[in-house]
Amino acid sequence: MTETTTRSAVLILLGPPGAGKGTQARMLEERFGLVQLSTGDLLRAAVAAGTDAGKAAKAVMEAGELVSDEIVLAILKDRMAEPDTARGVILDGFPRTPGQAEALDALLSEQGLAIDAAISIEVEDAAMVRRVSGRYTCAACGEGYHDDFKQPAQAGICDKCGGTAFKRRADDNAETVGARLTAYHASTAPLIAYYEARGVLRSVDGMAAIDTIAQNLAAIVSEVTA
């Protein structure tokens, strides 16, 4: 029996730590019915579950360095094999190295899929320490907040689910941000040229307000998936 390939969108959000990838991916997920796929979230879940991959990744993540391509690709492939991803995916924080980008191309072509757009969220390094240090999320639903830039409408209560417990990431501190930015410039920034050469690169101004960026991204997504 041959399987019909239904065309599903593949979008990549590129940008340094704190650029707004997660915030925007969640908004696109709701608006377009796509599935957010964050390798950072998948790795944190593996660490929490104490799997072999999680044990290997924990110290690397706490140091702000990149987890090996081997571990990340294994986790990503497993997630891509789940049926909900057929609706289309927004890759958030993946790929992060040229090796991951090449492996993604191979994985997608096996499945008859292609990248619709790799969207670079352009931000200034100087703003990233504040973005990352002020970040926190709802413990129940994962909605993202910020001490200065995005507080819940009612203090201490999640806008999305009414939850009252919030958490901060172990690696969201001023010391680790430096290492994460270094890793971004060394390993991930070269992907901008990689996707430009393939004709799928787009960009948005990541220093704008969250809602403005959301509108600009939505326009790109509508265009490339039309």
Is the bond leading into 152 cis (omega within 30 degrees of zero)? no
Supply the DSSP symbol for 65: P
Give CA–CA dist 40/38, Å, rounded: 5
Helical H segments across the chain, by residue range: 21-32, 39-49, 52-62, 69-80, 98-110, 125-133, 174-183, 190-197, 210-225
Residue 34 sits in the site that holds ligand ADP (CB under 6 A)? no
Q: How many residues bind ligand ADP (CB under 6 A)?
A: 34
Q: Which range of residues in 29-37, 46-54, 88-96, 193-201 is near ligand ADP by CB under 6 A?
A: 88-96
Selected from 9, 17, 90, 158, the binder of ligand ADP by CB under 6 A is 17
Selected from 9, 10, 11, 22, the binder of ligand ADP by CB under 6 A is 22
Say which entry of ligand ADP, Zn ion, none residue 160 contacts (CB below 5 to 8 A, set by partner kind): Zn ion
**Who's near 102: CB < 8 A, 6+ residues apart?**
none
At residue 7, φ and ψ (nearest 5 deg) are -75, 120
Dump the DSSP string for 127-138: HHHHHHHTEEEE
Catalytic residues: 21, 96, 135, 168, 180
| Closest CB 38 distance from ligand ADP, rounded Å | 6
Residue 40 sits in the site that holds ligand ADP (CB under 6 A)? yes
| Closest CB 18 distance from ligand ADP, rounded Å | 4
Give CA–CA dist 213/207, Å, rounded: 8
At residue 145, φ and ψ (nearest 5 deg) are -135, 175
Residue 174 sits in the site that holds Zn ion (CB under 5 A)? no
Selected from 87, 150, 163, 218, the binder of Zn ion by CB under 5 A is 163
| Closest CB 150 distance from Zn ion, rounded Å | 13
Helices then strands, counting H and E runs in the chain, come out as 9, 8
Residue 150 sits in the site that holds Zn ion (CB under 5 A)? no
Enumerate residues 155-214 that contact ligand ADP by CB under 6 A. 180, 209-210, 213
Assign 14 to helix, strand or coil: strand
Applying CB under 6 A, the residues found at the interface with ligand ADP are 15, 17-23, 39-40, 43, 60-61, 64-67, 72, 93-94, 96, 100, 131, 134-135, 144-146, 149-150, 180, 209-210, 213
Site of interaction with Zn ion (CB under 5 A): 138, 140-141, 143, 158, 160-161, 163
